[in-house]
Amino acid sequence: MMRNILTLLMIVMTTCLAIAQSLPLTGVQNARQLGGIAIGDKRVRADVLLRSANLSAASDEDLALLHDAYCVAKVFDFRSTLEHESLPDRVIDDCDYIWLPCLDKAVKEMGPDTEGKAPRPTVSRIGEAILQYLDSPQIKQMADSLYPMIVFDKEVQQHYSTFLRALATLPEGRAALWHCTQGKDRAGCASAFLLAALGADRPTIVEDFARSNIAYQPLIDQLIAKAEEKGCDEEQKNIIYALVGVSVANFEHALDAIDARYGSLDCYLTKALGCDDTLREKLRSLFLK
């Protein structure tokens, strides 16, 4: 009985945190913040560290809110050249825009013929493509290899290093926002590494990463329903989760691979991302209270 009550309390607390972390943006998907996440005996400061999908469809009200209420000073865009050019961000006034193109070659290889105008890589278009090629072994390989590509690509590591160092120069009273196309994989790994630098444990990092599935659950359910009509199996359902939402299992496997290659996530931060003790202390002084 007591165990059931404690479980219920944990569910309620997790739900309340997810609601509190959501950003009230109407044209930007998967928008939330890290504020309120518990790390040891401290919490991440509220309204300072923001993450989202791309800003191409941000409304005028969204831009005003990010500028006036959140005082965003830096925007980090982790999208590839194709994504960046196909869906240009709407710009927040008085804000530094830092483009850190991740997986340029991989996205170009997976994209359309570049001799014609590339279609806008919207989430719904991504979903349609996944359904079309769900039987292809290549799409499973794509789902399985995505996170290893992100965490072990040397150029991506350099971009994450730049991201962490730039956050350490964030002016007092201002916020930072980072995104990729859907705000879940590359932006999710950026959040994971930032949380690790702030001292978060693995369950906390994984929990934040998994929250992207809340934003995309309606589309995931819709695509799975269509796939079930064609007789899809559990593995194919997992592919939909991995490419439309996030695969928590695949992310955990990537963390295991980091441990195997570097010894620990802490060592990865130091050796791969150049996030030493001095930088970590600076980040903690800025973003924990």
* pLDDT per residue as tens digits for the range 231-269: 988 889 889 999 999 999 999 999 999 999 999 999 999
Instruction: Give the CA radius of gyration of the chain.
Output: 19
- 3-class DSSP assignment, residue 34: coil
* pLDDT tens string 10-23: 333 334 445 568 99
pTM of full prediction above 0.85: yes
Of 206, 200, 193, nearest in space to 162 by CA: 193
Give mean pLDDT, residues 139-147: 91
pLDDT at 92 over 60: yes
Residue 67 has pLDDT above 50, yes or no: yes
Instruction: Give the C-alpha distances (Å, rounded to integers) separating 131 from 134, 137, 223, 240.
Output: 5, 13, 7, 8
Residue 74 has a pLDDT of 98
pLDDT of residue 127: 77
DSSP 226-243: HHHHTT--HHHHHHHHHH
Q: How confident is the model at residue 274 (pLDDT cuts 50, 70, 90)?
A: very high
**Positive or negative torsion for Cα 162, 168, 170, 176:** positive
- Report how far residue 226's alpha carbon sits from residue 73's, in angstroms, rounded to the nearest whole number: 42
For 106-125, the pLDDT digits (tens) are 877 765 443 334 445 566 67
Backbone angles phi, psi at 42, to 5 degrees: -125, 175
Average confidence score pLDDT of the chain: 89
> Is there a contact between 102 and 156 (Cβ–Cβ < 8 Å)?
yes
- Higher local confidence (pLDDT), 130 or 284: 284
